[in-house]
Structure 1
Amino acid sequence: LGVGVKYVDDRAGQTAATTYTMERYSVVDLLSFYKVNEHVRLNLDVKNVFNKGYDEGAFNNYVYPGAPRTVQAGVSYTF
């Protein structure tokens, strides 16, 4: 089980001919896995747990939003 926190401070972006200030944000991620046996492993990850809205970048005439909450599950098998 793991927790990741990403903090990004205020930063400048460029939109058209003006400078756009993107606000600071924090995003929390959860990571987990369970080893069923020596061959099978399950994982479940949740990114942006609190579904925080934020600007990932600003270039040209666009502001790019950050990813919303996402859940990823997987199974891996090793020989």
Structure 2
Amino acid sequence: MAVKSQLSAPKTKNPNTGSHSKAESQGQWGRAWEVDWFSLASVIFLLLFAPFIVYYFIMACDQYSCSLTAPLVDI
């Protein structure tokens, strides 16, 4: 029974054989292997401050007639 399940398992392709190019076998498409510090800092900034930015826009539209500079001037 165990031999049958092993035989019927799907076979995977070896990435070193076939007509694949060298770039395809080195990594996955769409993945960044090296990320600079500015990209990392901007992603962390967006994750941390996105709720506050949304709250600022809602407050500006509700209390200041959708003026984005009036709340800053009022402070």
Which bracket does the TM-score occupy, shorter chain normalised?
Answer: under 0.3
Name the structure, 1 or 2, with higher relative contact order (CA <8 Å, separation 6+): 1
More helix by share: 2
